[in-house]
Amino acid sequence: MMLGSGAVAGLLTGIKVGAALFASQLAVGAIGVGLLGLLRYRIALLFLLPLLHLKPSAPVARKDWLPIILLVLCQSGPA
């Protein structure tokens, strides 16, 4: 059975979240919350970047950019 790119993205996201939670326990005291949030997004990008090469997708619609930016800001919060 072959997994679709959505299932693969979900699987990789789950792995990334688990790794980030584990690493957070170890690193939050040493590097601070702001840098830790930045590192989480970089790790996520590294895991999900290969999926961009599997199948081209439509660009993000202009009307969707504001909700995406607000979501990122709410998740990371001001450091």
Delimit the domains of the chain by residue range.
Answer: 5-76
pLDDT of amino acid 3: 64
3-53 residue pLDDT tens: 677 788 888 888 888 887 787 778 777 787 778 778 778 887 887 888 777
Average pLDDT over residues 59-78: 80
Asked whether the predicted pLDDT for residue 2 surpasses 80, the reply is no
The token pair at 63 is 């009307």
Indicate if the pLDDT at residue 63 is higher than 90. yes
Predicted confidence at residue 35, as pLDDT, reads: 81
